[in-house]
Amino acid sequence: MKRLHIHSATYTTFAASTLALIISSHAMAGTVTTDGPDITIKTKGGFEAAAVDQSFSFKLGGRIQADFDQFDGVYTKNGKSANEAYFRRAILELSGTAYHDWKYAFNLDFAEDGSSKWDEASITYTGFKPVKVKVGRFDPDFGLEKATSSKWISTIERSIIYDAGEWVNDKQDGMGVQVSGTSGMFYGSAGINRAKNNEDDNGSNNNTYNMRAVVAPMAEAGNVLHFGVNYAKRSTEDFDGRIRSRMGVRGTTEDSKNGNRPTFASSQAGQFDSDSAWGLEAAYALGPFSAQSEYLRRDISAKSGSALKDRQVDGYNLQLAYTLTGESRGYKLDGGKFDSIKPSNKQTGAWELVYRYDHLTVADADMDITGSFYDTKAKVHTMGVNWYANDAVKVSANYLKAKTDQVANAANDDSGDAISLRVQYAF
């Protein structure tokens, strides 16, 4: 799909229209006449209108995430301190229901250069209860933290283990179909995605296949016991096998002048022809405390006759979080994911502390000058605090400390520190 280019005048007109619609919903009074069932209108958390029998609904929402990163050492090319301020996400979300059994989601992500792209554009049929069928553009289902919305993860950026194989849960601007369902304590999904510009020699698209299964004997806010397993495979004839990681700091790629995105396995054009990954996930929550961990392994097979070895990537993380003000993290079995923290006190909000440890290893990543293969590694400690000022505003601060092995920048730095800040408004 071609990227859309929207001028500032269009942004201004649309924003003004949306604001007027929301304000008018507060100001107007009287009788609303419809050609069907009565409707209800809600303006808390976006603008939502729905028929009382839930046959039709319409919701307009979105999120804005403004970030600032300060980083040094291996996070930069020359090892000196650098910083970057940017909009991480600016997404307008439109979703709803039609004729009871049809759901839609159209989310548009706006970039700072004035361009935009679809974050999601999907239609879901729910008439085969408890099974749902989704078609369109959406992220494949792989991993607990990736299933959780970026609005409600406890750290600013997701774990570095996802850098080990971005394709496992990246729509890559393609199209897909997914079947999912929830029954009792179980949730499962299976999908096929066709990435854009990934054709074989005959011009046919190569596919990515994903499966995820979750069992959650306890599945409510403040009372969670969650286990999951994931598998993904993509059909591809040849690829370069490169593996890079921002190591938890997005600003390293937003800063094109001095930001450094370390390479853990170099690009070797056309030397690999098989790619698969599987993962494990577990989570526990009791009241304001939550713990979660994930493991991801990716197997990259070298072509027959190649001088390179097969590459194996192993990554895992452990995260602990505690809400000082006593609130529990939300949880949804449908999707197997954590959800928002709702502050009990709207004046002081909710305060959450979080710590995460990430570890990534790439076996047989490259050869040295003697022709011997070696492994590369990364370790990242993330400590953070989140202030949920109210249901819409979240302010986050993270401190990250990274250490690499057999990976360094141009100044030969193999460690670095970073501070990340975010202000989020979600409506």
| CATH number of the domain residue 274 falls in | 2.40.160.10
CB 171 within 8 A of CB 193: yes
Q: What is the mean pLDDT of the chain?
A: 90
The residue segments making up the domain with residue 336 are 4-426
Both tokens of residue 298?
């990716």
Checking if the pLDDT of 380 tops 80, the result is yes
**Long-range contacts, 118-124 (Cβ 8 Å, 24+):** 118/1, 118/173, 119/91, 120/171
Calpha distance 360→17 (Å, rounded): 47
Mean pLDDT check: name the lowest of 46-55, 221-230, 356-365.
46-55
Confidence of residue 24 (pLDDT cuts 50, 70, 90): very low
366 compared with 259, residue with greater pLDDT: 259
**Residues near 102 by Cβ (< 8 Å), separated by ≥ 6?**
123, 124, 125, 126
- Stretch 325-353: mean pLDDT: 97
- Residue type (1 letter), 353: L
Residue 155's pLDDT is 98
Confidence of residue 25 (pLDDT cuts 50, 70, 90): very low
Residue 405's pLDDT is 97
CB 252 within 8 A of CB 420: no
- Stretch 305-311: mean pLDDT: 91
Strands 289-302 and 311-323: antiparallel
Calpha distance 427→425 (Å, rounded): 7
Span 269-299, pLDDT tens digits:
889 989 999 999 999 999 999 999 999 999 9
Strands 272-286 and 289-302: antiparallel
Calpha distance 309→266 (Å, rounded): 13
Length reported for the chain: 427
Number of domains observed in the structure of the chain: 1
The reported pTM is: 0.88
**Bridge partners, residue 70, by sequence:** 83, 419
Calpha distance 364→2 (Å, rounded): 38
